[in-house]
């Protein structure tokens, strides 16, 4: 979401400079700025080729660069990395002061890189036109430069996830030596609308920071997640200032150390502007006063109280002995409610089903024990047309499946790890908009047929694992969907290999282990594994047989389990490089070409070749 905000800022720049057609074709960059970028590139360690396009004459066509059509100056420099991609990429090294040459820069994004503790460059403050600055999760250390106070046009600042200090120092004031928190620079950023200081764990002791933050009158979104804030944070605020000046619409205080109900009092006093509140991961054992909670709930659109240890008697103003009572008054404009990972029990009140704007309801990992048909009936008021996400996993919900088709907007349905039982009715239907369906780890029985998936063209994730289900599809069935995740472990899928897999070209994760398949695996399936980007595959504990052909490798599968089958012949080299590879309990006979590449052993994470028919010498490599 934060990276996407670059696009939002770009649109703002376009609106601000209506005659400045950003990113137009044929724009040629300023040579001085091109040289500055090359010096910048020279300081980076670019292991993943992120800057491989930085070689041509026109730097406005380089990746991460956006220029102005009128002035040809660089407006956007977006060099964010990615630690979570399957093939992670990031920059390291140093940041050259040649960056100062980009004086027209309005967006700078260096997030998700690995700068290994270097200090945030003070010379970034010379880029006086910056509106958007994202340095989050990039391994910066030391103090935040006080020069940042010169960035008077800045509207977005994200310093989350670094090892930054709050700049505590001593100053001489009227002949008296005083401790200074060093946050005065922040008071100059009067244009800030977005501020993220998450993971600054010494913020709780830096009162001047908190006092300055409460005086940033244009601030709309504030994230202080995981800053070790305690109840002292609330006491340190000046209520008259904070309540009268704040214009916060999004307030993230998740994963701190709040225990007192005073946090609800604070929020209730600013709630007339507040749309989103995240108090997830605290320790809120005290109940909010009913008037505070009522005010807070009247305006909110999104509320997250998950992982807060809420239980019976904890927040009695809206829960009764751990239950959500049917008399609960939810705000008429509530769009998202998360109460997952608490100790709530009983069921879902009808009043939630009457919340006509409700889009997301997350109640996972509690102790709800109502029957599923009754829960769905209670939600089938006007919420049946608005609800898009329903997460009920890891509860004690029982009963069989009702007809879900009345929930016309539902995209995500998670019912996994409950106590659902009984046979799947032949005539039930799922919503046609559904993208995620998870019912694994229950005790459901009966038959799933292609008629159950009629018109579900948007389905991307299907997990029915660990039930007593039989999947019986028409011989020439062609699904209307393209699945990226298929989980059918311990379902009855065989005895023949599923022909309908041939139509699925987007599979990334596949688990059809222990599915009673006793058949040869067709060549087209191995082609998908080698060339279509499948990253995790488990086909173990079947009776699959045949020789696995080799294919030119495009994407290395990371997790492959072929154990306890009847595969034979040589191990194909295209499996080389997998982080986890279990080939045990088969009939493989040759592994020499698999292990060695160009005279050296291929890097492996975990390899199991036990109980095969290997013979000969272990290759020298």
pLDDT at 172: 41
With CA atoms as reference, report the closest residue to 358 among 328, 372, 338.
338
CA 582 to chain centre: 29
Residue scoring higher pLDDT (543 or 348): 543
Q: What does the DSSP assignment read for 2-31?
A: TTTHHHHHHHHHHHHSTT--TT-TT----H
> 121-163: per-residue pLDDT in tens?
999 999 999 999 999 999 999 888 889 989 999 999 999 989 8
pLDDT at 373: 95
Residue scoring higher pLDDT (552 or 320): 552
pLDDT at 595: 74
> 439-485: per-residue pLDDT in tens?
999 999 999 999 999 999 999 999 999 999 999 998 889 999 999 99
What Cα–Cα distance (Å) separates residue 286 from each residue in 158, 236, 270, 311, 423? 32, 20, 20, 11, 43
3-state secondary structure 583-611: CCCCEEEECHHHHEECCEECCCCEEECCC
DSSP state of 341: S
Under 8 Å CB-to-CB from 294, ≥6 apart: which residues? 268, 317, 329
Sheet containing 468-472: give its strands across: 398-399, 419-423, 443-449, 468-472
pLDDT at 171: 41
What Cα–Cα distance (Å) separates residue 513 from each residue in 391, 439, 544? 26, 17, 11
The strand pair at 461-463 and 436-438 is best described as parallel
Contact 118, 91 (CB under 8 A): no
What pLDDT band is residue 597 in, cutting at 50, 70 and 90?
low
> Comparing 124-128, 209-213, 472-476, 599-603, which segment has the lowest mean pLDDT?
599-603
Q: Is residue 58 predicted with pLDDT exceeding 90?
A: yes
Instruction: Give the separation between CA 508 and CA 499, rounded to whole angstroms.
Output: 18
With CA atoms as reference, report the closest residue to 121 among 44, 22, 201.
44
Most confident of 11-25, 78-92, 440-454, 526-540: 440-454
pLDDT at 32: 95
What pLDDT band is residue 615 in, cutting at 50, 70 and 90?
confident
When pLDDT is averaged across residues 361-373 and rounded to a whole number, the result is: 93
Most confident of 89-98, 315-324, 350-359: 89-98
Residue scoring higher pLDDT (396 or 475): 396
Most confident of 298-312, 491-505, 525-539: 491-505
Instruction: Give the separation between CA 98 and CA 269, rounded to whole angstroms.
Output: 47
Instruction: Give the separation between CA 168 and CA 175, rounded to whole angstroms.
Output: 19
What pLDDT band is residue 598 in, cutting at 50, 70 and 90?
low
Most confident of 247-261, 490-504, 566-580: 490-504
What pLDDT band is residue 188 in, cutting at 50, 70 and 90?
confident
Most confident of 48-62, 158-172, 347-361: 48-62
Residue scoring higher pLDDT (581 or 577): 581
Q: Is residue 287 predicted with pLDDT exceeding 70?
A: no
Instruction: Give the separation between CA 413 and CA 415, rounded to whole angstroms.
Output: 6
What pLDDT band is residue 207 in, cutting at 50, 70 and 90?
low
Find the farthest-apart pair of alpha carbons in the chain and give their distance in angstroms, rounded.
90
Residue scoring higher pLDDT (236 or 255): 255
Under 8 Å CB-to-CB from 599, ≥6 apart: which residues? 621
What Cα–Cα distance (Å) separates residue 331 from each residue in 328, 342, 477? 10, 21, 46
Q: Is residue 291 predicted with pLDDT exceeding 60?
A: no
Q: Is residue 317 predicted with pLDDT exceeding 70?
A: no
């Amino acid at each position: 979401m934060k990276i996407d905000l670059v696009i939002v800022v770009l649109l703002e720049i376009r609106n601000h400079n209506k005659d400045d057609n950003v990113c137009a074709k044929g724009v040629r960059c300023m040579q001085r700025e091109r040289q500055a970028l090359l010096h910048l590139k020279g300081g980076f360690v670019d292991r993943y080729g992120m800057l491989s396009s930085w070689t041509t004459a026109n730097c406005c066509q380089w990746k991460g660069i956006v220029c102005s059509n009128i002035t040809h100056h660089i407006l956007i420099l977006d060099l964010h990395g990615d630690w979570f991609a399957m093939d992670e990429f990031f920059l390291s090294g140093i940041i050259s002061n040649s960056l100062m040459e980009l004086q027209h820069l309005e967006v700078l994004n260096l997030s998700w890189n690995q700068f290994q503790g270097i200090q945030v460059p003070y010379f970034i403050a010379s880029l006086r036109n910056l509106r958007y600055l994202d340095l989050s999760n990039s391994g910066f250390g030391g103090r935040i430069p006080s020069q940042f106070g010169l960035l008077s046009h800045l509207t977005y600042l994200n310093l989350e996830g670094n090892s930054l200090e709050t700049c505590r120092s001593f100053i001489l004031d009227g002949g008296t030596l005083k401790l200074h928190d060093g946050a005065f620079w922040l008071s100059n950023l009067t244009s800030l609308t977005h501020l993220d200081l998450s993971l600054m764990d010494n913020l709780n002791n830096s009162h001047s920071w908190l006092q300055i933050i409460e005086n940033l009158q244009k601030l709309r979104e504030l994230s202080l997640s995981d800053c070790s804030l305690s109840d002292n944070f609330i006491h340190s605020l000046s209520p008259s200032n904070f309540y009268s000046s704040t214009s916060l619409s999004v307030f993230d205080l998740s994963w701190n150390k709040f225990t007192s109900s005073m946090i609800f009092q604070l929020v209730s006093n600013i709630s007339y502007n507040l749309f989103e509140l995240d108090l997830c991961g605290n320790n809120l054992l005290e109940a909010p006063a009913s008037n505070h909670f009522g005010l807070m709930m009247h305006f909110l659109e999104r509320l997250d109280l998950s992982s807060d240890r809420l239980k019976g008697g904890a927040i009695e103003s809206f829960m009764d002995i751990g239950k959500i009572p049917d008399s609960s008054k939810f705000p008429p404009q509530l769009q998202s409610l998360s109460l997952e990972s608490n100790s709530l029990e009983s069921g879902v009140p009808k009043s939630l089903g009457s919340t006509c704007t409700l889009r997301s309801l997350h109640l996972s990992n509690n102790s709800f024990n109502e029957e599923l048909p009754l829960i769905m009936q209670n939600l089938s008021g006007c919420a049946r047309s608005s609800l898009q996400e329903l997460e009920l996993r890891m509860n004690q919900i029982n009963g069989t499946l009702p007809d879900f088709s009345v929930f016309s907007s539902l995209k995500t349905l998670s019912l996994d790890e409950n106590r659902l039982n009984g046979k799947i009715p032949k005539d039930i239907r799922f919503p046609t908009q559904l993208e995620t369906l998870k019912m694994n780890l229950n005790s459901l029985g009966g038959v799933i047929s292609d008629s159950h998936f009629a018109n579900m063209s948007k389905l991307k994730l299907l997990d029915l694992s660990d039930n007593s289900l039989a999947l019986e599809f028409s011989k020439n069935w062609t699904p209307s969907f393209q699945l990226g995740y298929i989980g059918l472990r311990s379902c009855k899928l065989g005895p023949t290999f599923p022909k309908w897999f041939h139509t699925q070209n987007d599979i990334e994760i596949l688990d059809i282990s222990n599915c009673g398949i006793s058949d040869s695996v067709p060549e087209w399936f191995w082609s998908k594994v080698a060339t279509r980007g499948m990253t995790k595959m488990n086909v173990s504990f079947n009776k699959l047989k045949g020789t696995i052909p080799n294919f030119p490798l495009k994407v290395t599968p990371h997790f492959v389990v072929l154990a306890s089958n009847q595969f034979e012949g040589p191990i194909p080299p295209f499996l080389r490089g997998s982080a986890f590879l279990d080939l045990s309990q088969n009939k493989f006979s040759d592994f020499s070409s698999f292990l060695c590449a160009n005279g050296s052993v291929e890097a492996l994470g975990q390899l199991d070749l036990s109980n095969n028919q290997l013979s000969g010498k272990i290759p020298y490599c």
